[in-house]
Amino acid sequence: MKKLKGHHTITHHLTDFHYLSPLTHTEPDDAYSISYIAIALRIHPFLWCIERIDPRWMETATKVNGAAKPKTSDKIPVAAHPLAEDPTDIASNIKYHAQYSPHFSPVKFEPEQAYYAAAESVRDRLIQQWNETYLHYHKVDPKQTYYLSMEFLQGRALTNAIGNLDIQDAYSIAINKLGHELEEITEQEKDMALGNGGLGRLASCFLDSMATLNLPAWGYGLRYRYGLFKQRISKAGQEEMAEDWLEKFSPWEVVRHDVVFPVRFFGHVEVLPTGSRKWVGGEVLQALAYDIPIPGYKTKNTNSLRLWEAKASAQDFNLFQFNDGQYQSAAELHARAEQICAVLYPGDATEEGKLLRLKQQFFLCSASLQDIISRFKERKDGTGVREWSEFPTKVAVQLNDTHPTLAIPELMRLLMDEEGLGWDEAWDVTSKTIAYTNHTVLPEALEKWSQVVMSKLLPRHMEIIEEIDRRFIATIKSTRPDLENKISDIRILDHNPNKPVVRMANLCVVSGHTVNGVAQLHSDILKDELFADYVSIWPTKFQNKTNGITPRRWLKFCSPELSLTITKWLKTDKWVTNLDLLVGLREFADNPELQAEWDSAKMANKQRLVQYIKRVTGESIDPNSLFDIQVKRIHEYKRQLLNILGAVYRYKKLKEMSPEERKTTTPRTIMIGGKAFATYTNAKRIVKLVNDVGAVVNTDPEVNEYLKVVFVPNYNVSVAEVLIPGSELSQHISTAGMEASGTSNMKFALNGCLIIGTLDGANVEIREEVGEDNFFLFGATADQVPKLRKDREDGLFKPDPRFEEAKQFIRSKAFGSYDYEPLLDSLEGNSGYGRGDYFLVGHDFPTYIDTQAKVDEAYKDRKRWIKMSILSTAGSGKFSSDRTISQYAKEIWNIEECPVP
C-alpha cells in the first residue's frame, strides 16, 4: 500500500482532516490502512487522478466563465505544501485547497472562496503542531487543566492564527499573489457564535495565554449552532435573528468521530444487590466532540477547545413510525438532541426553557468529565490502570462561573457508580480536583435550580447533592456551633416550601478546593459579604485572580500602527509576551516625536472606525471629534441608561447655545453597542432610546457638527477589534460593587484610551496602574451604596435639577412617541428589582456630568491628552491574561509548562 500512486497526498489529508484522534493512528503503517484511505478518498474524490489532471482544465473552465485574460495567479502551481513558509509555496497550498478541498464551483476564486482556502491552508500547519502537542502531552503525562465554560467568545480565527504562527507577512504576500488582499478575505470570516460577553471573551483570552505559556490545558464548551442571536436594529428597536456562523461550515473545527460519550437524562435510580446505586432508564443522547486548535504565540504548543454536539443515534430513529406517517414522533429524540446545542442561553421564562438550560449545563459537564477520565486512564503506559488517588495530581478542573456546577455531582457519580469508589474516596478526589471562579454578585447569576426539576431530570445527582448538603450541615454542627443559626443561609439546599431550590454557588464553595474572584474589589466583596461565613470556615480557600486580556489580539493584531510605534520606542517586541515592558513608555511620554507618532497611529485607527460606522450604519462621523465609546452587554447595572441620559442633557444644552457658543465646545461622537437579552424588557428599551436619540441628534443641522450618537449593531469580537483601537474615551460606569471585573476596560486602556468610570471592578486597579490623573473618576463608592439605596427607599434622595431636566426632555417626546415611562419609572421607585433607582443613576448623574465637562477641557489640550493616552498604555502591563494564567497555574492548578520540543 505504501507504493500507491498519490499516497503522499492521501497521508497529507489524513493529517489534515484528522477525523480520528491523533492516537488512533500513531504508527506509520496504520496510516495506510484501507479504511483510512477510503476516508481520504471519500473526502477528496479527485485524489486518484491528481497526477493525471490536465493543467489546461482550469484554464478551460475560466474561459467558460467568461474570463479570458490570464491572471498573475495562473503562474502559481497547484501543490500541497502544508508547512510552507515561502509566500509562493503558501499560495500554491491555498490554490491546492481551492481545487482539491472543493466547497464551491471550481471556476470561482472570489474573496469568500479565497478565505476558506486560506483558512484550510493555515489549518494544515496548525494540525501538525496540534498533533505534536497532543502526543507530547500523552507521552509526558503532565498534570493538565480543563477549563469548563458555557461561553467561549473566540472571534475570527484567521488573523489570530497567522499572527500567533508569525506568518502574517508571508500570508499577506501569498494572498496578494492570488489577486486578493489579506484584509479583504479576513472580512469574509464570521465570528464563532459561542459566547455573549465578558465571560466568554475572558475564557478565550485564557486559552490563548495557556497555549502561549506552553501550559497543558484545554477548554470545554458547547457547539451552539445559532449562538445567542444576531442583533438587527429597526425602528422598533432591537430584533433578534439566529446567528449564521455555521450556515456553510467552519474551516477551523475538526470533528472527532472516535470521541463520543453517552449522556443520560431523566430515568430513575436502582439499588443493586451490592448496595451500590445505578442511574438507569430515561433518554440517552450522544456527545460528539468537535475540536478547534488554539495556537500559542511563537510556540509549537497548540491546545484544544473541545466543543460538544448532541446527537441521537440511528437506532433512535423509528423507521416504522416514519413510514406510518408519524414523522415528528419518529425523530423525536433527534429533535430533542438538536435543541441542546441550538442556542446559547435559551429563554427560561417557561419550565421548558429552564429544563433546557439545565440540560445544556449537564450535557457539557458529563461529556467533559467522561472525556477527562478516559484520558486519565489512557495516559498510564497504555495500560489504563491507575490509582484514583492520582487523579487530582493529573487533573485540574476549573469551573468558569456557576454554569458548570453540575460537574461536582457528576464527577462523584462517575467515581462511585461507574468506577466503584466509596463516598469518602470519591469526595476526596472531587474536592481536590474542582476549583470555582465566581464572576458576579448579582443574585440572578448565582443560579438557583428547582429541586423538583433537578430530581426529575437528574435523579441520581439530586441524591448526591442532598448527601453533600447533609454532610456539610453535620460538619458545621460538630465543628462550628456558632454558625448553627446561619445554616439555613449557607447550606446548599434551600427548603423554602413555596420554592425549594439548589443553590449552585453554595455547592461550588462547599465542594471546591479554591474559590476566586476576578478583581481585588470583587474578591473583597465575596470574602467580606457574599461568602463571609464560608471564609470563617475555610479562610485559605478564597483567592483573587484579577482578570486579564491577551496582548496579541487586543493590541498587536488589532492596532498594527500603534504596535509598531510601541516596538520602535521600546526597541523590542518582547512586550507582546511580557506586557510589563510597556512601563518603559513612561520615560518618553513628554517626547514630542513619540506624541506625534502616537497621535498619527490613533488617527489611523479612528479613520478605520469612521469607515466601519459608515458601512454598517450609514452615519458619517467626524474623525476629529472625541470618540466616546461604551460597548458591552446591555444591562441596567452597566448603566448605558446613565450614558444616554448624559447625551440627552448634552444635546439639550447645545440646542440652548448660540452658534458662537457651540464653536467653543468639544465635538463628540458617542458610540454605544451591545446586545440586550431577548426577554430583558428594560434593556431593550435602552437600546431603543439610544437609537431614537441618535435619529434626532444626527439629523439636527444646528447640533450634529458638535454631537453624534451612534448605536453600533451586533456587537461582537470583530466589531470590538475596530472600535477599541479607534476609541479615545471609554465609559465603564457600572454601579460601584456590581461589576465583578470587566475586561473591556482593560482593552481600552491598553489601546491608549482614557476611561471615565466608577470605582468598580477592575477600574480600581486600572486607576492605580495608569495613575489617578489619567482616569476620569466619578460616582459613589461600593461602601456607600447600601446606605444610598436605603436613603432612596426612605424618600431622602433629592435629585439634581439636571437629572430631572434630562428625564423631562425625554418625556416631552423630543425623541419620538415611544412610551419610555416604564424605563424612566425604574429611576423613580418602580424598578424591576422592587426598589426605586436601585442602580443609583440619579445619585451619580451630577458627578457624571461634571466629570464629562472635565473630559471636554482635557481633550482641547492635545499635548496633555496624548500624554495621558501614552500613560494609559504604559500602565496596562498588569492586565495581561498571561499574568493571570500564570497565577492560576501556580496558585490554584499546580501545573507547569510542558513545551513541545
Question: What pLDDT digit, counting tens, does each position of 381-414 carry?
Answer: 666 678 999 999 999 999 999 999 999 999 999 9
The residue with greater pLDDT, 748 or 33, is: 748
DSSP 603-656: HHHHHHHHHHHHHHH-----TTSEEEEEES---GGGTHHHHHHHHHHHHHHHHH
Q: Per-residue pLDDT for 766 more than 90?
A: yes
Report the first-to-last Cα separation within the chain, whole angstroms. 31
Of the pLDDT bands very low, low, confident and very high (cuts 50, 70, 90), residue 872 is: very high
Closest-CA residue to 876 (of 769, 755, 795, 800): 769
Q: Which residue is it, cell 450541615? A: 473
159 given a catalytic annotation:
no
Of the pLDDT bands very low, low, confident and very high (cuts 50, 70, 90), residue 40 is: very low
Single-letter amino acid code for the residue at 687:
V
377 given a catalytic annotation:
no
**From 44, 638, 650, 807, active-site residue:** 638
Q: Per-residue pLDDT for 69 more than 90?
A: no
pLDDT at res. 403: 96
**From 413, 633, 732, 802, active-site residue:** 633
451 contacts 493 by C-beta, under 8 angstroms? yes
Q: Per-residue pLDDT for 492 more than 70?
A: yes
Distance CA 579, CA 597 (A): 20
pLDDT at res. 108: 80
pLDDT at res. 829: 57
Closest-CA residue to 164 (of 557, 548, 558): 557
Of the pLDDT bands very low, low, confident and very high (cuts 50, 70, 90), residue 21 is: low
807 given a catalytic annotation:
no
DSSP 551-589: HIIIIIIT-HHHHHHHHHHHT-SGGGT-GGGGGGGGGGT
pLDDT at res. 72: 60
Mean pLDDT (whole number) for 861-874: 98
Distance CA 287, CA 151 (A): 17
**Helix, strand or coil for residue 332?**
helix
pLDDT at res. 384: 61
Element (H, E) at 222: strand 217-222
Distance CA 38, CA 572 (A): 50
Q: What is the pLDDT of residues 535-593, one digit of tens each?
A: 999 999 999 999 999 999 999 999 999 999 999 999 999 999 999 999 999 999 999 99
Q: Per-residue pLDDT for 29 more than 60?
A: no
Q: Beta-carbon neighbour count of residue 771 at 10 Å?
A: 14
Who's near 424: CB < 8 A, 6+ residues apart?
none
Closest-CA residue to 544 (of 526, 525, 519): 519
The whole-model pTM stands at 0.92
Distance CA 380, CA 782 (A): 51
Q: Per-residue pLDDT for 277 more than 70?
A: yes
Distance CA 155, CA 201 (A): 9
pLDDT at res. 70: 45
Q: Per-residue pLDDT for 58 more than 70?
A: no
Q: Per-residue pLDDT for 6 more than 50?
A: no
638 given a catalytic annotation:
yes
All domains in the chain, ordered by first residue: 7-145 (no CATH), 146-155+191-546+888-893 (3.40.50.2000), 551-783+801-808+840-879 (3.40.50.2000)
744 contacts 732 by C-beta, under 8 angstroms? yes
Q: At what angle do helices 87-100 and 111-140 cross, to 10 degrees?
A: 100
Distances (CA, A) of 385 to 396, 397, 514: 20, 21, 29
435 phi/psi in degrees, rounded to 5: -130, 155
Mean pLDDT (whole number) for 690-710: 97
Pull the grid cell for residue 364: 457539557
pLDDT at res. 446: 83
Of 16-20, 203-207, 712-716, 876-880, the one with minimum mean pLDDT is 16-20
Mean pLDDT (whole number) for 336-359: 92
- Which class for 162: exposed (0-12), middle (13-18), buried (19 or more C-beta within 10 A)? buried
SS3 sequence, 352-388?
HHHHHHHHHHHHHHHHHHHHHHHHHHHCCCCCCCCCH
Q: Beta-carbon neighbour count of residue 783 at 10 Å?
A: 12
Distance CA 474, CA 468 (A): 10
Please report which residue ranges of 669-757 form alpha helices under DSSP H.
681-697, 717-723, 744-750
- Which class for 241: exposed (0-12), middle (13-18), buried (19 or more C-beta within 10 A)? exposed
Q: Per-residue pLDDT for 64 more than 60?
A: no
**From 302, 514, 743, 884, active-site residue:** 743
Pull the grid cell for residue 555: 493590541
642 contacts 841 by C-beta, under 8 angstroms? yes
Of the pLDDT bands very low, low, confident and very high (cuts 50, 70, 90), residue 794 is: confident
Cβ burial 261-282 (10 Å sphere, 16+ → b, else e): bebbbebeeeeeeeeebebeee
Beta bridge partners, 294, equal: 303
Q: pLDDT over 70 for what percent of the chain?
A: 90
Q: Beta-carbon neighbour count of residue 819 at 10 Å?
A: 10
Q: What is the pLDDT of residues 640-685, one digit of tens each?
A: 999 999 999 999 999 999 999 999 999 999 999 999 999 999 999 9
Q: Per-residue pLDDT for 835 more than 70?
A: no
Distances (CA, A) of 70 to 62, 126, 215: 9, 33, 49
Who's near 203: CB < 8 A, 6+ residues apart?
147, 149, 151, 152, 153, 195, 219, 221, 400
pLDDT at res. 831: 42
Q: Per-residue pLDDT for 782 more than 50?
A: yes
743 given a catalytic annotation:
yes
pLDDT at res. 165: 95
pLDDT at res. 131: 95
**From 639, 747, 789, 878, active-site residue:** 747
44 given a catalytic annotation:
no
Of the pLDDT bands very low, low, confident and very high (cuts 50, 70, 90), residue 31 is: very low
716 contacts 155 by C-beta, under 8 angstroms? yes
Beta bridge partners, 269, equal: 279
Of the pLDDT bands very low, low, confident and very high (cuts 50, 70, 90), residue 107 is: confident
pLDDT at res. 54: 38
Q: Per-residue pLDDT for 335 more than 80?
A: yes
Of the pLDDT bands very low, low, confident and very high (cuts 50, 70, 90), residue 135 is: very high
Rounded mean pLDDT of the chain?
90
Closest-CA residue to 395 (of 445, 447, 431): 431
**From 44, 439, 662, 789, active-site residue:** 439
Q: Which residue is it, cell 477599541? A: 724
Please report which residue ranges of 105-157 form alpha helices under DSSP H.
111-140
